[in-house]
Amino acid sequence: MNNNADILIDIKNITKKYDNGFTALDDVSLQIKKGEIIALLGPNGAGKTTLISTICGIITPTSGSISVGGFDTLKDYRDTRKMIGLVPQELTTDAFETVFDTVSFTRGLFGKPRDKSIIEKILKDLSLWDKKDNKLRELSGGMKRRVLIAKALSHEPDILFLDEPTAGVDVELRKDMWNVMRALSKTGVTIILTTHYIEEAEEMADRIGVISKGRILLVEQTSELMRKLGHKEMLIEISEPLDILPASLQAFDLTLSDDRKLITYSYNANQEHPGITRLLKALIEADIRTTDISTKQSSLEDIFVNLVRDAA
């Protein structure tokens, strides 16, 4: 995989021990491809921000190396930094500046020449063009977040980091941000986001990396993660309460509810033969009449909780 020309960020065995001796990252390796959206998912204090800061060259790792576009983040800091746009959570610039000026000014900070057409394109991509002359303080929370992205894009980076892009925003605004990120991804920008929200990772990301206690527990294609770990349950409602499950059903992974009217069958949806037909046949043979059947798939949330628990 190392020779793959599509690899944009190559993180090799990064460990970060802070001065107080705390190990925030423990031998983390990860490769990120050009154009993908990857979500780093993990609980508070997992090490997500430390990892992002290390890739950006803001934090120096204790050991290991990172290359971005073939450049080393420490040795070639200037080259890697200009490839990266970092979206912080808060807008700290002058509230009395206009949207256009603040984005244009940020471009200048990266040593890029003034270019009205580029700023215009960025603002249009983010649906901020009609707000270009508004002062920042006049904008809604959602618009302010868009300005943060516009600023991070002002020097035309290849990679955009979003640190908890939708923390503390309402559902509508969150969906709006997701659309913005999708649109950006289509323009070829590689997007790396950190999130606490499983829903966000599942909705947005091509791949998900689960981080806990400074270690990457797994990195998978979002769909593959769902497929691999997707555990299903079939809920079978029965017409007459059962005292006990008959011996003929013992070969199946079944549980009987406390009111004895619901049988739950746990199975792996990815198995070639999940045993559903055999189970239904066995129910008929045991003279158990069903009144309703439904299935339930474990969410990424369930998977995540299990992973973090198992790693503890």
Ligand X SMILES: Nc1ncnc2c1ncn2[C@@H]1O[C@H](COP(=O)(O)OP(=O)(O)OP(=O)(O)O)[C@@H](O)[C@H]1O
Specify whether the CB–CB gap between 30 and 199 falls below 8 A.
no
The residue range among 47-55, 81-89, 106-114, 237-245 that interacts with ligand X, by the rule CB under 6 A, is: 47-55
Rounded CA gap, 304 and 302, in Å?
5
Closest approach of ligand X to the CB of residue 72, in Å = 22
Q: How far is CA 170 from CA 44, 57, 203, in A?
A: 20, 32, 16
Applying CB under 6 A, among 2, 3, 20, 92 the residue interacting with ligand X is 20
Residue 246 neighbours by CB under 8 Å, 6+ apart? 286, 288
- Decide if residue 212 touches ligand X (CB under 6 A): no
φ/ψ of residue 128, rounded to 5: -110, 0
User: 3 or 44: whose CB is closer to ligand X?
Assistant: 44
Residue 206 structure tokens: 């091509």
User: 144 or 215: whose CB is closer to ligand X?
Assistant: 215
Rounded CA gap, 47 and 27, in Å?
12
Phi-psi region of 64 (alpha: psi -120 to 50; beta: other; left: phi over 0): left
Applying CB under 6 A, among 14, 32, 39, 42 the residue interacting with ligand X is 42
User: 45 or 108: whose CB is closer to ligand X?
Assistant: 45
The residue range among 43-51, 142-150, 260-268, 282-290 that interacts with ligand X, by the rule CB under 6 A, is: 43-51
Q: What x-and-dash track marks residues 48-87 binding ligand X by CB under 6 A?
A: xxx-------------------------------------
- Interacting residues with ligand X (CB under 6 A): 18, 20, 22, 24, 42, 44-50
